[in-house]
Amino acid sequence: MDSMEGKMKSVSLAGIAFVLAVLTQPAFPQAPVPMRHRVLIADEGNGRIHYVNMNNPLEKWSVTGPNRDLQLVGNDRVMVSDNFGTGYTEYNVLTGAELRRVNVIGVSDGINSAFRLTPNVTFLARDGSPAKIIKADSSGRVLDSIVLALDASVRICRPTVKHSFIIGGKVSGMMCEFDSTGKKIWETNAGGEPYMGVRLPNGNTLISNGYGGQMVLAGASGTIIKKFPAQVNYQGDDFWKNANPNFFAGFQILKNGNIVVANWQGHGTGHGGSGYQLIEIDSGLTRAVSYWKQDSTLVSSLHGVLVLDSLDTRLLYSDREGTLAPVLPPVGAAGIVKDEAAPRHRLIRFTGGSCFEVAGVQGRWRVSVADPAGRVIWSGLFTSCNKEAVHRFSVGPVAEKRTFAILLVSVVAGTVQQTERFVFPGCR
């Protein structure tokens, strides 16, 4: 009898646990919520660039100008490429003021993408048969040109850590990678009209496939791993019907792995009421996380986005490693940036532990410490009244022995003056 009673108690407790587990599970996947980001967006339909703080509708600005590709290039500047044009324009991120316009010398049309990996050199991807990647200095003078083994309508070009370039073939459905000589070294059939691709640290490539209306994950061999949303995601879900995935264009991978993609709705004005033109998707490509139902009085049709939430707009950023992160400039044997503007003497000195000092500078400066992946782990501002002053800094406890880079950036000029790489001993 005691044995039977014990069994009944055991079954009863198990049943209660099961019921509680069922009751605490959501009946359906979490529904997407309205987006709450601060964004820079490229509005192809209206020919305008907008800044919008979704948490404060009054915090916004708009400027008229050709647009497609967007990149934070430091000193509170955003570089915006032309849309089949001759170069790019830089704007103040905080105000929208146009700071400078650069036309690439000898180029009459076809520029659709622009990015930098160092402060004074710009890579520009040009439409054509064949397509080209142009390397230009800060005045627009062509330094070099890479002719691609591709006749394609180039949209967004992205670099990789291996010094190669990922470009969509648009109508053919192919996303391709080219080495520094222009030779095709990788491709995948992403479907649709591939617009943009970013290489991830694990070797996979994330792609927006244009009129396919999907984010696509391709493996190192070119095999398609996943597409989202798939047809099954439309079943019994009004979200995607309302979102109207017409053309997935420019996108950004956030620090948490989520993806924010621009959902372009068509050329010209009058598309502001159509679809959700910014959609945030989880890192596993399984569900929509959030969306922006755009202001139709402001927006017509978006094809580019930069999410600014946790970014330091005083630094140069790139997505060559997947997630958008500050760029570490190339460093010479003596630790000095390979830049014609760089000084010839050492400005940063490691003093042991996790401490360092800066001397020999004058004016307003930002000093930042970045880990090997390029993520800024510490940053501070200081003003130096004369070059003889010595400024000492401590990063604080460092979890383990690793090599870090210290970047010294002029707040006025926005240029990186010097970097040093040190091994912090770590705290035990």
For residue 13, being part of any structural domain is answered with no
Of the candidates 161, 104, 162, the residue with the CA atom closest to the CA atom of residue 133: 104
CATH number for the domain that contains residue 407: 2.60.40
Q: Quick check: 70 pLDDT over 90? A: yes
Q: What is the mean pLDDT of residues 393-405?
A: 66
Amino acid identity at 116:
R
| DSSP label at residue 234 | G
Residues 252 and 124 in one domain: yes
Show the tokens assigned to 170: 């648009």
Domain boundary among 266, 291, 326: 326
Q: What is the mean pLDDT of residues 45-63?
A: 96
Identify whether the C-beta of residue 10 lies closer than 8 Å to the C-beta of residue 17.
no
For residue 236, being part of any structural domain is answered with yes
Domain boundary among 295, 326, 357: 326
For residue 26, being part of any structural domain is answered with no
Q: What is the mean pLDDT of residues 411-428?
A: 50
Q: What is the pLDDT of residue 152?
A: 64
CATH number for the domain that contains residue 218: 2.120.10.30
Rounded to whole angstroms, the Cα distance separating 13 from 19 reads: 10
Residues 250 and 382 in one domain: no
For the ranges 58-72, 82-96, 287-301, 311-325, the lowest mean pLDDT is seen at 311-325
Residues 298 and 408 in one domain: no
Rounded to whole angstroms, the Cα distance separating 362 from 35 reads: 42
Residues 91 and 236 in one domain: yes
Counting residues of the chain whose pLDDT is more than 90, the rounded percentage is 60
For residue 63, being part of any structural domain is answered with yes
Q: What is the pLDDT of residue 168?
A: 82
Show the tokens assigned to 388: 């003889």
Residues 119 and 232 in one domain: yes
pLDDT in tens, 179-219: 999 999 999 999 999 999 999 999 999 999 999 999 999 99
Q: Which sign, positive or negative, has the C-alpha torsion 238, 57, 71, 407?
A: negative
- Count up the domains in the chain and report the number: 2
Residues 278 and 364 in one domain: no
Q: What is the pLDDT of residue 368?
A: 79
Which has more pLDDT, 152 or 4?
Answer: 152
Confidence of residue 411 (pLDDT cuts 50, 70, 90): low
Residues 269 and 415 in one domain: no
Q: Quick check: 352 pLDDT over 90? A: no
Residues 254 and 189 in one domain: yes
Identify whether the C-beta of residue 119 lies closer than 8 Å to the C-beta of residue 316.
yes
Q: What is the pLDDT of residue 385?
A: 86
For residue 167, being part of any structural domain is answered with yes
Q: What is the pLDDT of residue 19?
A: 43
For residue 241, being part of any structural domain is answered with yes
Q: What is the pLDDT of residue 92?
A: 95
Q: What is the pLDDT of residue 331?
A: 38
The answer to whether the pTM exceeds 0.85 is no
Using DSSP, state whether 241 is helix, strand or coil.
helix
Residues 40 and 129 in one domain: yes
Show the tokens assigned to 342: 């760089």
Rounded to whole angstroms, the Cα distance separating 338 from 123 reads: 17
Counting residues of the chain whose pLDDT is more than 70, the rounded percentage is 79
Q: Quick check: 95 pLDDT over 50? A: yes
Residues 76 and 118 in one domain: yes
Q: What is the pLDDT of residue 332?
A: 38
Average pLDDT, the chain: 84
Q: Quick check: 17 pLDDT over 60? A: no
For residue 40, being part of any structural domain is answered with yes
pLDDT in tens, 293-339: 999 999 999 999 999 998 988 889 999 999 998 886 543 333 333 33
Rounded to whole angstroms, the Cα distance separating 150 from 86 reads: 20
Rounded to whole angstroms, the Cα distance separating 50 from 41 reads: 5
Which has more pLDDT, 394 or 248?
Answer: 248
Backbone phi and psi for residue 194, each to the nearest 5 degrees, phi listed first: -50, 130
Q: What is the pLDDT of residue 10?
A: 45
Q: What is the pLDDT of residue 346?
A: 54
Q: Quick check: 176 pLDDT over 80? A: yes
Residues 278 and 403 in one domain: no
For residue 186, being part of any structural domain is answered with yes
Domain boundary among 326, 358, 388: 326
Confidence of residue 369 (pLDDT cuts 50, 70, 90): confident
| 129: Cβ contacts below 8 Å, ≥ 6 apart | 151
Q: What is the pLDDT of residue 23?
A: 42
Residues 258 and 398 in one domain: no
Q: Which domain holds residue 381?
A: 348-424
